[in-house]
Structure 1
Amino acid sequence: VLKDGNYTPEHKLLTNYWFRHIAEFFWPLYAGIILTEAITGLPMSKVSLMQFPLSLSMAVIGYFVFIKKIKNNNSTNSLFLSSVWSMLKSVWAILAAILLYGIFKVDLSISVLIAIVLLILVTHPSKEAIKISFKKSLSPHLILLIFGVLSFQMIIEISKAVEFIPALATTYNLPEIIIVFLVTFTIGILTGMVSAYVGLGYAILAGFLYQPELNSGLIMIAYLSGFAGVMLSPSHLCLILTNEYFGSDLMKVFRKLIPAITLLMIAGLILYFTPWPGLFIR
């Protein structure tokens, strides 16, 4: 879409980088979503549905901040619409599983099985493709990651460290949402890893997020804040590689990326103060 010389390397990077991360708020195959359920107990379907408006907000912000600046011509529009259509064709089976589980209360394993069968019937993949997919789905790395995170969570709970952060907030009269933002954003920007701010941050913030009661609104804010930190992290591998590919100036990138992330945070705060997150309390 951006082949001519009218677009700076920074604009190309930002457009690519922004839209590549839109699905991280709801895609159930992302480690962040899987770990959120494993740690907080909030079902994946509810996490995905609750956070889906954040992906929509990100798409709208990306359109007005980045896409609008692309010269409007038939070729560009055609390629953009084609990309959107391709994305929808790729995610329909996953969305079907989420809807079956979240809305129609079908058991998660059965919902996923139905979605897989439908996907195979519609796309007719080869036996080799199916074999490779199943092999990749049994990721030892993800299993070890979940085991490590849950072990860390258990240590935090046994040591009573889980009570320290809420007590600190009470002592200094700090709003819960500020503490949640600071912890997850800081971990996100320092590590550049989703698994770090979910795995470490959520355990540290257990007293706010899921103990003694589940707080779906703060879980959403924790995820969004950590995501914002990761997107702005100089150590984020995705940003490093994309910057290297386009040969862009990172300082110029951050000057345009920070306002976009700020708009996304504002959208998340507006959503937080609506009844929406409360609909997903188990």
Structure 2
Amino acid sequence: MDILKLMIVFGVLVVMLWLKRPLYQGILGAAAAVCILFGIAPAEAFNTALLSVTGRGTLSVLLVFYLITFLQRMLEKRDFLNLAQASLNGIFNNRRINASLAPVFIGLLPSAGAVIICGDIVENSVGPYLSPEEKTFVTSYFRHIPESFLPTYTSIIIAISLTGGRVSVSSFLVGMLPLVFLLAYLGYLFCLRKIPKDTGMPPSMDKRGDIRSLCRSLWSIALAIGLIIGAGMPVYAAVACSIVLSVFINKFTFSELKPMFLSAVESKIVTSTICIMIFKDIMASTGVIESLPGAFERLPVPGFLVFAMIFFFGTIISGSQAIIVLCMPLAFAAEPKAGLALFLLLMGMTYAAMQISPTHVCLAIVSEYFGVGMGALIRKTLPVIFVFAVLLIGYYVLLSHVFGL
């Protein structure tokens, strides 16, 4: 019965997006459907929403968005994003590399706001050769590849800690490498190859100068990433450090910075983010996630596929962290001999599901940036995710049955 209710909830969301309603309206409609179908009283729903809006998690996400957007405004003011694109042109002279490598690099920054910077670079790199929907896909897809394997992301750190020592960070990184290359190749196969390699510019005669220009244009992002990975600094603190240093190094005046304090507030992004957080918390309060294992266990399929489906559909419903915390211990308890192979399968499914989940904040941000509906982005992403999921299952069978991992 819970599965049917969930289908109705997401049916409401899909219909509202299909009717071209703003994302926040679709999310609120889905949240209202959850309250009606699961019998959540208005007072309880209001309290949950209030706690969600004022919660540290939501406020920290909004702060990170604000700081990332502020940093983006500074980069735009000094024309550093165009300089980065020109530098990549000089180094590689290849539109495809510009459109994919820059989002991958910026994706090392574990913040949804970073997708805005990626969007700028992709827009300038691909020009008229891709449709707005395809630009949205390229930006979102390549920006999130680092999220599949980097242990700087909270979900990966939490997941590894829940395996009871059966999976280490190093083994996870090594095991993910083939999947990372697979993701990059699928992105090229489905979309990137449509872009001509030629940038229309002659090859650079000063590649060292181009490398220096690239460093000059993106050092603030690289610094933030380094502080997060190397010093374990929170994202908001690392980005704030980059902003402060950039003020002095790039010689910003107060008159230049003043309008950025207001322009860094993206009202659509703030509204969508708050609504998504409310929806996730209301959904979590129903306890429906805990019922998913029982529903899938009745299916006549192998155990690893049961958990693969739980993680895939559970992530679409509630996001990656919730399903990892609730179901990773369950998976490893149910499969006593499970190790790296099962972990890679479940994390791969979680990653794949996040790329088409309406609860994924980044999808809302990048869709708003390019002015396309989230439904269009999900439709463009689905075929790639389907192929990845099928090959991921084959990878699991290879690792578990041939290599015994």
**TM-score (norm: length of structure 2):** 0.45
Q: Which runs of 4+ in 1 moved over 4 A?
A: 75-78, 129-133, 137-140, 164-168, 276-281
Query: Per-residue displacement from partner, 1:41-84 (whole Å, max 9, x unpaired)?
Result: 21111111112211110000011112101133135998xxx9xx
Q: Among 277, 298, 304, which residue is 1:177 paired with?
A: 304
Aligned to 2:355: 231
1:223: how far off? 0.9
Matching of residues 104-253 of structure 1 within 5 Å:
134=231, 136=233, 169=297, 173-191=300-318, 193-209=319-335, 212-253=336-377
Aligned to 2:193: 68
Matched, 1:49 2:168: no
For the residue of structure 2 that corresponds to 1:74, the secondary structure is coil
Q: Contact 1:180/1:222 (CA < 8 Å) preserved in 2?
A: yes
Structure 1 residue identity aligned to 2:317:
L
Which is greater in Rg?
Answer: 2
* Alignment partners' CA distance in 2, 1:261 and 1:131: 29
1:258: how far off? 0.5
Query: Per-residue displacement from partner, 1:78-112 (whole Å, max 9, x unpaired)?
Result: 8xxx9xxx9xx99xxxxxxxxxxxxxxxxxxxxxx
Q: Contact 2:133/2:377 (CA < 8 Å) preserved in 1?
A: yes
Change (3 A) 1:139 1:2: closer
User: Unaligned 5+ residue runs, structure 2?
Assistant: 1-121, 216-221, 238-289
Q: Contact 1:190/1:233 (CA < 8 Å) preserved in 2?
A: yes
Change (3 A) 1:208 1:166: farther
Q: Contact 2:162/2:328 (CA < 8 Å) preserved in 1?
A: yes
1:175: how far off? 0.9
1:276: how far off? 7.0
Matched, 1:59 2:156: no
Q: Contact 1:228/1:261 (CA < 8 Å) preserved in 2?
A: yes
Aligned to 1:22: 145
Q: Contact 1:221/1:272 (CA < 8 Å) preserved in 2?
A: yes
Q: Contact 2:152/2:228 (CA < 8 Å) preserved in 1?
A: no
Change (3 A) 1:278 1:44: farther
For the residue of structure 1 that corresponds to 2:345, the secondary structure is helix
* Alignment partners' CA distance in 2, 1:220 and 1:131: 24
The Cα RMSD (Å) is: 3.9
Change (3 A) 1:277 1:19: farther
Change (3 A) 1:203 1:256: same
Query: Per-residue displacement from partner, 1:149-188 (whole Å, max 9, x unpaired)?
Result: xxxxxxxxxxxxx9x959984x654311221122111221
Structure 2 residue identity aligned to 1:53:
P
Change (3 A) 1:138 1:204: same
1:272: how far off? 1.3
Q: Contact 1:22/1:58 (CA < 8 Å) preserved in 2?
A: yes
Q: Contact 1:216/1:278 (CA < 8 Å) preserved in 2?
A: no
Structure 2 residue identity aligned to 1:194:
S
Q: Contact 1:166/1:208 (CA < 8 Å) preserved in 2?
A: no
Change (3 A) 1:76 1:263: farther
Aligned to 1:12: 135
What count of residue pairs does the alignment treat as equivalent? 212
Query: Per-residue displacement from partner, 1:194-250 (whole Å, max 9, x unpaired)?
Result: 3223222213323345xx333322211111112122111111101001101111133
User: Unaligned 5+ residue runs, structure 1?
Assistant: 91-122, 141-161
Q: Contact 1:54/1:267 (CA < 8 Å) preserved in 2?
A: no
Change (3 A) 1:165 1:5: closer
Aligned to 2:75: none
**TM-score (norm: length of structure 1):** 0.63
